[in-house]
Amino acid sequence: MGNIMTQDAILLLQNRLAKVSNELFIAILGGCFLAVISQVALPLPFTPIPMTLQTLGLFLLAGSLGSRRAVSCVVAYLAQGAIGFPVFAGGVANPFWFVDIKAGFLVSFLAAAVIVGRLLEKRANPHFVYVLSVLGLGQLAIFAIGAAWLSFFVGVNKAILFGVLPFLSGALLKIVVASLLLKARALFNQ
């Protein structure tokens, strides 16, 4: 009887370790995806914030993996940056990213992952307009948190001028593209 309980305990432990390993693998892979997609960056001469595909990648992760896993991916991405890997826009390595002028935008990815992931998890096959709306809410969170942090450095008016307005058209395009890709994914999974 003792051997059976021990074997059961070992199997339970192996099962838990396999689940943790799987989740860790997904988080690291998602963090690497964000790191790669962050390299598609266009520096704008009038703002310290570059135009990137990070939000597109974030929306795809949150819509595909759900909120919990998407948050894990963002944490892995930010941890890679804190370790000093060149994961940020344009291949920048910044272990002190959390005190940088762009930190609000990076931290906002966590909030956006929760918002987008949770709202899309609630619907099995959401309508395209719903997906657009959810991604729009995620983008609003990114703009609000990013601009709030940026305002500590440049003031509120310039934070909106430098951190929001130049990115509105690009954000809209990324929201539409991510929505189309997420809907296409949903169609293939049916």
Q: What is the amino acid identity at position 99?
A: V
Angle at 166 between CA 97 and CA 126, to 5 degrees: 85
Helix, strand, or coil here: 125? coil
CATH number of 2-185: 1.10.1760.20
Give tens-digit pLDDT for 127-176.
Answer: 999 999 999 999 999 999 999 999 999 999 999 999 999 999 999 999 99
Give tens-digit pLDDT for 59-73.
Answer: 999 999 999 999 999
Distances (CA, A) of 60 to 39, 55, 56, 149, 183: 16, 8, 6, 25, 11
Give tens-digit pLDDT for 105-127.
Answer: 999 999 999 999 999 999 888 99
Cβ 98 vs Cβ 88: under 8 Å: no
pTM for the full model?
0.90
User: Domain residue spans in the chain?
Assistant: 2-185
Q: Which residue has the tokens 């994961």?
A: 87
Question: Cβ neighbours of residue 154 under 8 Å, at least 6 residues apart?
Answer: 101, 162
Helix, strand, or coil here: 41? strand
- DSSP tag of 88: B
> Cα separation of 27 and 109, whole Å?
14
